[in-house]
Homo-oligomer: A and B are copies of this chain.
Amino acid sequence: MKQNYSIGVDLGGTNIKFGIANEKGKISKKIVLPTKAEKGQESVISQILKGINSILDKSKDEIKGIGIGAPGTVISAKGTVEHPPNFPDWGKVHLGKIVSKKTNLSVQVENDANAAAIGELIYGAGKKLNDFLMVTLGTGVGGGIIFNKQLYRGSHGAAGEIGHISINHNGRKCKCGSRGCVETYIGNKYLISNVKKQLLRHRDSLIYKMIEGNNSLLSPKLISEAAEQHDDFAISIIVNAGQSLGYGISSVINVLDITNVIIGGGVAGFGEILFRSIESTIQRRVMKPFRDKIKILPAGLKNEAGIKGAAALVFYKS
């Protein structure tokens, strides 16, 4: 029987999302369970298995395998997940082996940013590209490198940390230990905390009115809405975010000579303004021979990108 389906598991800090995908990335069933990360690794693993079992309504014969996108350091050859941020008491877990043993299915585990890159390669904006950089914008800024239609993993399986290109060696301290990393400008938490600092100097802005003194309402979505209503401060936040990311990506392009860039994740919802800012920054900053080759593309996988990326791991041939 032809095994046309895969199960995608998107392991997040708060929720785990599960879905069954076909070879074209169509999700036919989807469920969400709480991660219960605070209860420790046993509990998380049990939630993962619970989700997989409850979604296994297809005959197992049609399921080619399970793909898991996980935060933290993932050694995909071994299926191990180490020290995911916000997972206390986790250490190093042989997640691939454990899930494979309990389900009798083959399991591919991959870092979530790499899974996003493979998702775009198999299902999304990278289907017709040989080489591209994937950038995922969220709480952190992740990255994946596709070269010759293959994920580039580096010497120890940890390549692609585009969020930790420093664009200012004297910049803000990053949680990675360095300073001025791209993530300290455009990662959700840093971005919002930067906006808070500037807000008092922008009392005439729509953002100031919208949050009515309640800073906790600040979010990328709210900034987006203000920008759509032509609020200058909101627009400047998004333009600056695009510039910061553009500076970092320009350096990566100079080193890697990969000129296609796919951008996905929440903050990518900043839309046209963000993309134009990224592109014009790169056009100014990248070395001349690359300029007419630059393509900045929004991710093809929007909703359920996490599940689809994970499911794509099963259909990816390395």
Contacts and interface: CB of A to CB of B under 8 A. Distances in A.
A169 B245 CA distance: 11
Interface string A225-261: 0000000000000000001100100111011111100
A156 B289 contact: yes
A166 B257 contact: no
A166 B158 CA distance: 22
A286 B177 CA distance: 7
A178 interface: yes
* Copies of this protein, total: 2
A161 B287 contact: yes
A287 B176 contact: yes
Contact of A287 (B155, B164, B284): B164
Interface residues of A, number: 48
A290 interface: yes
A245 to B, nearest CB: 11
A73 interface: yes
A160 interface: yes
A256 B244 CA distance: 20
A86 B244 CA distance: 33
Contacts of A244: 169
Contact of A154 (B168, B258, B284): B258
B286 A178 contact: yes
Interface string A273-295: 00000000000111111100100
Given A155-B257, A155-B259, A256-B154, A287 B250 contact: no
Contacts of A251: 164-166, 251
B177 A287 contact: yes
A277 B280 CA distance: 35
A169 B252 contact: no
A267 interface: no
A155 B258 contact: yes
A143 interface: yes
A159 interface: yes
Given A178-B250, A251-B165, A156 B257 contact: yes
A255 B161 contact: yes
B284 A164 contact: no
Interface string A140-176: 0001010100001111111111101111111000001
Contacts of A120: none
Nearest to A167: B169
A155 B131 contact: yes
11 contacts: A154-B256, A155-B259, A156-B293, A158-B257, A160-B255, A164-B251, A164-B287, A167-B169, A168-B168, A169-B244, A176-B287
Interface of A: 73, 130-131, 143, 145, 147, 152-162, 164-170, 176-179, 243-244, 247, 250-252, 254-259, 284-290, 293
Given A158-B257, A178-B285, 9 more contacts: A143-B255, A152-B256, A154-B258, A156-B290, A164-B251, A164-B255, A167-B167, A177-B288, A251-B251
